[in-house]
Structure 1
Amino acid sequence: MITKLEMLIALAKERHFGRAAESLGITQPSLSAGIKQLEEQLGVKLVQRGSRFGGLTPEGQRALEMARGIVRDTRRLREEMRASRHGLAGQIRLAVIPTALTWASSLATRFNAAHPNVGFSIMSRSSTEVLDMIANLEADAGISYLDNEPLGRMAVQTLYRERYTLVCHQAHPLARRASVGWRDLTGLKLCLLSPDMQNRRIINRNFAEAGLVPEAMIESNSTVVLVSNVAAGEWVTILPTDLAGFLSAGHPLSVVPLEGGISAHSVGLIAPHQEPQTPLLGALFEAGLGLAER
């Protein structure tokens, strides 16, 4: 039954029988047969079929919600039994917004030092994708904004508050300033994160508060791309303080604090709310508490 529920979850995510089968490492006929057997066991039609995947029926959507809970609880049971026999072991899949990747690295390093049999898979994703991956059981936890857009029913642990800096070349006219305001960025050659990133939406609101509309001629979902453009000459970008310092190290770049704007947003750990938490996630939140900005 658990295997068939995992098939339903994969099909709902991929919305395509072939891709869902590939994601599970099985053949498409095996997936189709598994879904049909699940429908027979439950006595309802779960999937609208035609020449291609046509979506879930209302019963299928309800089954999907319950399937996610059942599969999550089954994995938690296996993890707790393994931990009781062998201690903490396994792998944590962590989906992280791009601006928090340095914090994710610090958290993983800190955690692994205390629990050397636990590995990490760290994936850079937008805040929306972080939530989707957790919901689809593709990630065990995430690091994302806590107070900017709805999270749903999640356990949270604040890590830090995001503050912004201007990153520019050392030869740039603003490079030697002690600080700059958002209005000082008028007319500069901006490269910024792409609009699908929550960080960009926050930056846009800061510009709006200053009565400006940002015109970024270069956009990317990679902060490395942004800093590479800045290092090339006249471009400037806006990044959180911690990440700006890390990416600028060893390059002819200046990091200048940005003053004013809307209140800083909290960033932290998120995971599905459950009592008690799994041993791995409980230990992860404990590590996050020790790492949190004071």
Structure 2
Amino acid sequence: VLFQRRDSMGHTPLDILLRRFSEVVGTLPARPTPLPPAADARMPEWSRMPRYMPRGSGSATPPPFADLVLEVEDRNAPDGLAQTHVHRAVLAANSGVFHEQLKKHPPGKPLRLDPLCCRSIEVLTLVLRFLYTGELECAFQEDGFLLWQLLCLCTQYALPQPLATYARTALVYSLGLTRHAPIVPVLLQAVDKVNLTSEEGLFTACVFLNNMEAAPIPGGLEGKAQALLSALAEVEVSVLRAQSADSAPPAEQGLQEAAGGAGCLLQRQSSQLLVPAGSVGPAQPPRASAGHHRAPVQAAPPPRSEAIFA
């Protein structure tokens, strides 16, 4: 409340903060652009992989050589559970997390995705299409709640970097729409987990600070305080980085960037209290759960597993 109270000149602490930010940094961050995977992420024309792509939830005929049923909770599916037939080798080749799980997973038993990161067969179908073809066809590019699930799925299972980058940038882009306000405080508390860049974190913080009342935040005053501290921490990091870059000799700027810049008074908040209101997706920001080893996100396009189906 105090953060939004106006002084005798009609200014709030937020107004003063953003004005000071503009004086130091220059301009407020622009809305970022989604970054789709590059053309070289696609499978070559001679590849046989696309013909083995899963045929969708509920298909009576699985693709040739499919040896695993992958399940995902989805409230729109019969009994709230959707299934699709996949190939263990393809999942393992594209995700170190899946690789470790499948080494211990008994043959013939369905493997269910962690419902804390994905509850949508539509999101899973997009991911599988990318793994099998290297192509991205996103029918929900303007649905921030499904993009949040996609980003959580990429993070939790360490999926290929081109897909994770698209999920991250498309989600941040979608925050410019008011209807996605409930996602903003959740994303702010997962900045480090989902690897937002400093520019993306700052944009997210400014979206929140400019319209804090738009986002319903569970957890009462504690939840609001955590979200506010997370936003202020992003702004502080950017201001200190700009001040440090202006005052340091060129030879020292690289060292400061490598060391993470100047020390910050505020700490990025990490909490599992917040839930995007109205979302059928993950109930919490992505976290390491039992049996889900967090492997590094791959930096290369999906591995070419042509020999598997030769």
Q: Same fold (TM over 0.5)?
A: no
- Computing the radius of gyration over CA atoms, which structure comes out larger, 1 or 2? 1
Pairwise TM-score range, normalised by the shorter structure: under 0.3
> Normalized against structure 1, the TM-score is what?
0.25
More strand by share: 1
Question: TM-score, normalized by length of structure 2?
Answer: 0.24
